[in-house]
Amino acid sequence: MARYFGYKRPKDTKKALKAIFHYLGFHKWMLALVILLIVISTGANITGTYLLKPIINRYIIPGDAKGLLKALILMGIMYGCGVAATYGYTQLMVHTSQKVIREIRRDLFRHMQKLPVSYFDTHTHGELMSRFTNDVDTVQEALNNSFSLMIQSFLMLTGTITMLLVLSVRLSVVVFLFLALMIAFIRYNSRRSKAYFNRQQECLGDINGFVEEMVAGQKVEKVFNHEAADFEIFCRKNEELRRASTKALTYASMTIPTVVSLSYINYAASACIGGLFAISGIVDLGTLASYLVYVRQSAMPFNQFTQQVNFLLAALSGAERIFEMMDEPMEVDEGTIKLTNVHISEDDRMAPCEDYTGDFAWTCPDGRLIPLKGDVRFDHVTFGYTPKKTILKDISLYAKPGQKIAFVGSTGAGKTTIIQLINRFYDVTDGRITYDGLDVRDIKKDDLRRSLSMVIQDTHLFSGTIADNIRYGRLDATDEDVEAAAKVANADSFIRRLPDGYQTVLHSDGGNLSQGQRQLLSIARAAISRPPVLILDEATSSIDTRTERLIEKGMDALMNNRTVFVIAHRLSTVRNSKAILVLEQGEIIERGSHDELVGAKGRYYKLYTGQFELE
């Protein structure tokens, strides 16, 4: 099957090579051994061919059977060493390349975890996943095969050409003429096939995207009886892919047969001219025999080297994309204040401890311990995702421990942005946010986020058991803690009705559960960590009204003495909030309790009475 060379070439080949060699450098002694074995393997092959000359001239033509036997034994030993070296370097290269790929994947994943949220907001999931799949696979294939094969082909081609010149400079003119023809054909054919392979990849991506849309939208397709029209579109895209693939493979499949045919013609021409030289006494018979074998084997390393150069460039292009991601600046964290488990004595004194107690304190660089209460305040905060567009304009608000603060407003008003700033997914442009009197920028990000728990509308469950997914909120939680959290979230009853209960294995983001059940597990995950600050971003949007009321009763216990931020479109879920903030275009236009806002008969009143709808 023809190999695809339609990848984009690397923008900076030297930089990509330097990055690859950085990882190969960790295994330099193993690679040195691989190169040594390749030299032995190639040397045995080239030397064995040259030995035909003395064997024919010294033993076969004179009829020296004893000398011939010794020469053949020597040749056999030499070829045996070559075979052993070939086996050795292929096995060593496989093991070394897999270690290098493991290290690249490890470092890529570790770096990805430290990238800021803004990076993921500006790159698609498919684009990021292609780094771990397509690009890593391309580099792996190159290290497994291309690295050693290129060295071997280069040494073989260089050695063969050298020996051709050593044996006969006159005959080599014919060989070099045909090699020039091969180079010209391969360059021409590669350019044509590359263009069609690029078109093939575009058509393939188009048809894959269409099929993915149809699979995801099967219900809609059937409801509107759109099967015939969609089938017609698929057939058209499929035909475009067929035409592009046919042209691409037509050119690609010509390369090897054409090169082989030219090598046959080269061999025939060299044999005819060499025969005339032998008759004329210009070359001896042993030289001619050895020379013709070199001519016969010259095409293969040349063809291999050309193909591997193209494939290596494709791998370097993939490596460049991998290392571009690894060069992305990591999330900056200049915080120095840490979160510490503390034990509170009867006289209210705090002492740091290693065990989980449910009580925490902020540890300042000077050793001071500040109790973690959950007092969050915005002081004239201004923020924009880009300098040209401001999202939040001079926002000031406060939430004392145990208070429930609700945000209401149209889509794009800035509700979720406020939540992102509390988590420090982004930092404020102007103003400041304080947490228990501390500027959040002075708190280490990991410790800040450990003090918060969040339930969002788009739930995400991981592969594993239900118990594992709930325990994700606190990894050292016991089975009793898991069940207690599930009861708080009102998830215990449906979990126990499942065949394996808490040990039920979830796949595909909890695809075997309803949306409401997945949301209940997300709430249980937040409940198990018992954070001082709880963020609910449309947390009950996928749950029916009856279940919502039951959850709210359980959430009351969870929210006791805890600061809660709520974003909700259902105004019934925010009625009991201490304060409701109505946002519009990044500004707070109303604030107060439910009764106060209804009495004011402003925007909230219109929302509540149905005179105005959220968009």
**Which DSSP string corresponds to 366-402?**
TS-EEE----EEEEEEEE-SBTTB-SEEEEEEEE-TT
Q: Same domain for 363 and 410? A: no
Q: What is the pLDDT of residue 3?
A: 46
Q: Is 130 helix (H, G, I), strand (E, B) or coil?
A: helix
Long-range contacts of 354-363 (CB under 8 A, 24+ apart): 356/474, 356/476, 358/530, 360/451, 360/532, 362/337, 362/338, 362/436, 362/438, 362/443, 363/337, 363/338, 363/339
- pTM of the complete model: 0.75
- Sort residue 380 into left (φ over 0), alpha (ψ -120 to 50) or beta: left
Mean confidence (pLDDT) of the chain = 83
The lowest-confidence range among 35-49, 174-188, 362-376, 466-480 is 174-188
From residue 205, alpha-carbon distances to 124, 198, 226, 292 in Å are 15, 11, 22, 48
Q: Same domain for 278 and 312? A: no
Q: Is the dihedral of CA 249, 252, 256, 258 positive or negative?
A: positive
Q: Same domain for 157 and 184? A: no
The lowest-confidence range among 111-120, 377-386, 449-458 is 449-458
If you ran DSSP here, which 8-state letter would residue 535 be given?
Answer: E
Greater pLDDT, 352 or 611: 352
User: Does the residue 155 lie in any domain?
Assistant: yes
Q: Same domain for 535 and 468? A: yes
Residues 6+ apart with CB under 8 A from 217: none
pLDDT digits (tens, 9 = 90+) for 511-555: 778 877 888 888 888 888 777 888 888 766 656 666 666 666 656
SS (H, E, C) 481-499: HHHHHHHHCCCHHHHHHCC
Q: Looking at the predicted structure, is the pLDDT value of residue 204 above 80?
A: no
| Distance separating alpha carbons of residues 429 and 363, to the nearest angstrom | 26
Q: Looking at the predicted structure, is the pLDDT value of residue 609 above 80?
A: no
Q: What is the pLDDT of residue 1?
A: 37
Report CA dihedral (342, 347, 349, 350) to the nearest 10 degrees. Answer: 0
| String of DSSP letters for 191-220 | HHHHHHHHHHHHHHHHHHHHHHHHHHTHHH
Residues 581 and 395 sit within 8 Å (Cβ to Cβ): no
User: Does the residue 300 lie in any domain?
Assistant: no
| Distance separating alpha carbons of residues 388 and 205, to the nearest angstrom | 35
User: Does the residue 297 lie in any domain?
Assistant: no
Q: What is the pLDDT of residue 434?
A: 93
Q: Same domain for 180 and 218? A: yes
Nearest to 431 by CA among 465, 387, 380, 473: 380
Q: What is the pLDDT of residue 487?
A: 87
| Distance separating alpha carbons of residues 447 and 400, to the nearest angstrom | 20
Q: Same domain for 188 and 65? A: no
- Sort residue 414 into left (φ over 0), alpha (ψ -120 to 50) or beta: left
- Burial 233-267, CB ≥16 within 10 A → b, else e: eeeebeebbeebbebbbebbeebeebbeebbeebb
The lowest-confidence range among 16-20, 296-300, 446-450, 467-471 is 296-300
Q: What is the pLDDT of residue 5?
A: 45
Q: Is 342 helix (H, G, I), strand (E, B) or coil?
A: strand
Q: Same domain for 46 and 186? A: no
* Six-digit token string for 55: 């064997």
Rg over CA atoms, the chain: 36
Q: Where does the pLDDT of residue 106 fall: very low under 50, low under 70, confident under 90, or very high at 90 and above?
A: very high
Q: What is the pLDDT of residue 83?
A: 92
Q: Where does the pLDDT of residue 301 fall: very low under 50, low under 70, confident under 90, or very high at 90 and above?
A: confident
Q: Same domain for 586 and 480? A: yes
* Six-digit token string for 273: 């001219």
Query: Dmax of the chain from CA atoms?
Result: 121
495 is in which domain, residue-wise? 376-609
| Distance separating alpha carbons of residues 336 and 447, to the nearest angstrom | 10
Q: Same domain for 345 and 421? A: no
Phi, psi at residue 35, to the nearest 5°?
-65, -40
The one-letter amino acid code at 131 reads R
Q: Same domain for 5 and 107? A: yes
Q: What is the pLDDT of residue 381?
A: 92
| Distance separating alpha carbons of residues 316 and 20, to the nearest angstrom | 8
The residue with tokens 């990238």 is: 115
Number of domains into which the chain is organized: 4
The lowest-confidence range among 111-115, 469-473, 508-512 is 508-512
SS (H, E, C) 2-55: CCCCCCCCCCCHHHHHHHHHHHHHHHHHHHHHHHHHHHHHHHHHHHHHHCHHHH
The lowest-confidence range among 7-11, 187-191, 234-238 is 7-11
Q: Looking at the predicted structure, is the pLDDT value of residue 585 above 80?
A: yes
Mean pLDDT of 357-385: 88
From residue 137, alpha-carbon distances to 23, 105, 143, 206, 528 in Å are 16, 10, 10, 22, 39
| Distance separating alpha carbons of residues 249 and 245, to the nearest angstrom | 6
User: Does the residue 459 lie in any domain?
Assistant: yes
Q: How far apart are the first and last CA of the chain?
A: 55
Q: Where does the pLDDT of residue 88 fall: very low under 50, low under 70, confident under 90, or very high at 90 and above?
A: very high
| Distance separating alpha carbons of residues 24 and 56, to the nearest angstrom | 45
User: Does the residue 299 lie in any domain?
Assistant: no
pLDDT digits (tens, 9 = 90+) for 16-55: 888 888 888 888 899 899 999 999 999 998 888 888 888 8
Beta-bridge partner residues of 351? 343
Residues 6+ apart with CB under 8 A from 100: 23, 24, 26, 27, 143
User: Does the residue 391 lie in any domain?
Assistant: yes
CATH code where residue 148 lies:
1.20.1560.10
User: Does the residue 504 lie in any domain?
Assistant: yes
Q: What is the pLDDT of residue 244?
A: 83
Mean pLDDT of 342-365: 84
Q: What is the pLDDT of residue 20?
A: 85
The one-letter amino acid code at 529 reads S
Phi, psi at residue 444, to the nearest 5°?
-60, 135
pLDDT digits (tens, 9 = 90+) for 134-166: 788 888 888 887 788 888 888 888 888 888 888
Q: Where does the pLDDT of residue 558 fall: very low under 50, low under 70, confident under 90, or very high at 90 and above?
A: low
User: Does the residue 516 lie in any domain?
Assistant: yes
Q: Same domain for 161 and 173? A: no
Q: Where does the pLDDT of residue 432 fall: very low under 50, low under 70, confident under 90, or very high at 90 and above?
A: very high
Q: Same domain for 455 and 561? A: yes
Residues 345 and 351 sit within 8 Å (Cβ to Cβ): yes
* Six-digit token string for 458: 């788009």
| Distance separating alpha carbons of residues 568 and 255, to the nearest angstrom | 63
Residues 314 and 69 sit within 8 Å (Cβ to Cβ): no
DSSP H helical ranges for 562-602? 594-600
Q: Looking at the predicted structure, is the pLDDT value of residue 127 above 80?
A: no
The residue with tokens 């979990």 is: 495
Q: Where does the pLDDT of residue 559 fall: very low under 50, low under 70, confident under 90, or very high at 90 and above?
A: low
Mean pLDDT of 270-295: 86
Q: What is the pLDDT of residue 18?
A: 85
| Distance separating alpha carbons of residues 503 and 519, to the nearest angstrom | 18
Residues 369 and 350 sit within 8 Å (Cβ to Cβ): yes
Q: Looking at the predicted structure, is the pLDDT value of residue 64 above 50?
A: yes
Q: Is 141 helix (H, G, I), strand (E, B) or coil?
A: helix
